[in-house]
Structure 1
């Protein structure tokens, strides 16, 4: 963010609309309040994310005590002077806005949504930093860019990747391996079969024997495999 500000560039963050975007806005607000980052304009370009944030605000009674205390001190989902883009026209105008600026747009893997247009328009700009803040599924455009692709195809156009690509890995919304194993270890009665269906193939292959070691019968279904549950 400091580099983006100094270079008068664009920091573009693909983000999942529900949960992840709110977490990013909270962290940006916290870092800004602490004086850790400069106050760059923030464009929130995801109508679904905005609706989700409104739901969070409407149901504060469901927050735990720590979260309620935090909200009482400050609106944690409200980065100062954030610009919310509602229409497609407003979204397209973001690319012409004065720099430096930050953009958070959905979806998180660049497989659809407004983020695709932003990436298409800015991927050849050395002044743009594409910052991944979430998991990139195998075979997605996001994964290709994260793995260092020099050229990608968007809307039937071959585009050279000249922007900077960075990743932050600390925003996982899922339990990690030790937490999953600890959760399984607390089962009073084991299920007949435990299906491992999430994660990359390599991660599934590494995780399955650890689950079996806890005494679970496991299975890793193949793509489009049908399993009959009796």
Structure 2
């Protein structure tokens, strides 16, 4: 019995794990990479033969967990993809949209390459591969234990992250040996708004656990809503636009619900139009409306009062490109559009036409991975190249992490503390700082924990909690080609600091800056020595 870490190690995208038990091989998640060098990573060959897999177990629909399944099918996968019914409905929407975007991007790159005499660019996969992938989907209900391959059984439990999201309880049986391994998937917070609370699981030998926000805390729902309200109070005074880049599954629905609440409170006037500019998001919202029985008690109560949580007043669903472009002529409005990290989608078009205006506001309501345009804007980049044009960033920026569908550090610790038999925790799905910090949090709480790296393999033994497996936690190593990226990030930070006002006194900050200056001078000296 063996576990191999394939993706989401040292980063929050590309989730994928390979389980082997006897002659059976099962993949848990098969997600795309997002952010820096994403195209290269997504095109790298799988580290296993897709034909050899018996099944794929999918924790939820988000593309960083599901997005490479059509590629898996393209390369020969013949088994079933098991997931909850809402997840299967959502991935159909996401995969077709992804295939269309890939096709458009490939055509654009091919056009550019043809002028240089270079080869055509093929999309990662096509709509035809999505058609084939859909035939592999198999719905599973929550809490039923099913066998997915000889010696491998799974039970899907509610993860409270997005509609249909699941924690996986997996049993591996080989001869007289049995091992139980739990995959947290992406966990929702303990105090939820959209979904139900994450299921409590009390026993396992091993737990593969996410750590997206393993080193920080979210604001409370009350604090987050107060922050969101203050943004709109200012927007109303400025008479500008508010742009909300949003993941179109769950986050967009949460934003629509919060806008409806602001209207109920009389804060957001009925004269302010709200544009939901995402054909895919509209389809996802219909799926949410179909499965409201799986949503939280708060949403259930809102519906019982005869109100639609996802249809605030003055809401207009935008489908056509012409209607999307027409929004440019509207001076005062709320624009919710994908993608959440501004690495594509219609939000790019809107920001090109509005991020330069200081009367406008840009509100981030989700995680921004390293290398994405959203992350660069948050870190203070003042000029960005967007849709082929250099644009100044002058809109007022707001980051509201409390809307996240991810658990924060204390939520993660609370969930992990439900285990009573002291399993061994493998901390993944987080940037290095976050994963290492959460691993230390677990150790301080008396739990066994380690942070594996991509490519590491682990022999799974019965009662694995009784003896900690040997995992060498490797330091994060920078490749030579990463140096220019690090220098760019330093320049971006310095640019943002020059224009900002320190909250602390200069006496507290100046020594830190002087130390940084000395380190940079040392690095520059070593670079010069190396050239000589």
TM over 0.5, yes or no? yes
The aligned length equals: 226
Hey, what does 2:293 align to over in structure 1?
Answer: 61
1:76 aligns with 2:309: yes
Q: Deviations over 1:137-196 (max 9, x none)?
A: 22211111112211112234332212221222321211111121121122133444x222
Runs of 4+ in 1 over 6 A off after TM superposition: none
Mapped pair 1:164 → 2:396? yes
Alignment pair present for 1:28 and 2:251: no
Deviations 1:69-118 (A, max 9, x none): 32121111111120110122221221122x21110111111011111111
- Aligned-pair CA distance for 1:66: 4.4
Q: Which stretch has the larger CA shift, 133-142 or 206-215?
A: 206-215
Kindly indicate whether residue 429 of structure 2 is the aligned counterpart of residue 198 of structure 1: yes
Matched, 1:85 2:314: no
Q: Does 1:210 align with 2:441?
A: yes
Q: Distance in 2 between matches of 1:151 and 1:66?
A: 41
User: Relative to structure 1, is the Cα distance of residues 69 and 160 closer, same or farther in structure 2, using a 3 angstrom cutoff?
Assistant: closer
Higher mean C-alpha displacement, 213-222 vs 30-39? 213-222
C-alpha separation between the residues in 2 aligned to 1:162 and 1:63?
A: 38
Instruction: Say if 1:41 and 1:81, in contact at 8 Å, map to a contact too.
Output: yes
Residue 136, structure 1, aligned to residue 365, structure 2 = no
- Cα contact 1:2–1:38 (8 A) shared by 2: no
Q: Whole-Å Cα distance in 2 between the matches of residues 135 and 63 of structure 1?
A: 22
Greater C-alpha radius of gyration: 2
Q: Match for residue 153 of structure 1?
A: 385
Partners of 1:105 and 1:20 lie apart in 2 by 11
Deviation at 1:215, TM superposition (A): 4.2
SS at match of 1:165: strand
Q: Report 1 or 2 for greater relative contact order, CA contacts < 8 Å, sequence distance ≥ 6.
A: 1
Among residues 245, 250, 263, which one is paired with 1:19 in the alignment? 250
Is the strand fraction higher in 1 or 2? 2
**What TM-score do you get using the length of structure 1 for normalisation?**
0.89
Pair 160,60 (structure 1): closer, same or farther in 2 beyond 3 Å: closer
Distance 1:3 1:32 in 2: 15
Q: Cα gap change, 1:188/1:132 in structure 2, threshold over 3 Å: closer, same or farther? A: same
Q: Which residue does 2:55 correspond to in 1? A: none
How many Å separate the matches in 2 of 1:66 and 1:168? 20
Would the alpha carbon gap of residues 161 and 65 (structure 1) be closer, same or farther in structure 2, given more than 3 Å must change?
closer
Could you tell me whether the CA contact under 8 Å between 2:299 and 2:309 is conserved in 1? no
Q: Which runs of 5+ in 2 are unaligned?
A: 1-231, 460-532
Partner SS, residue 122 of structure 1: coil
Structure 1, gaps ≥5 residues long: none
- The offset of 1:64, in angstroms, is 4.8
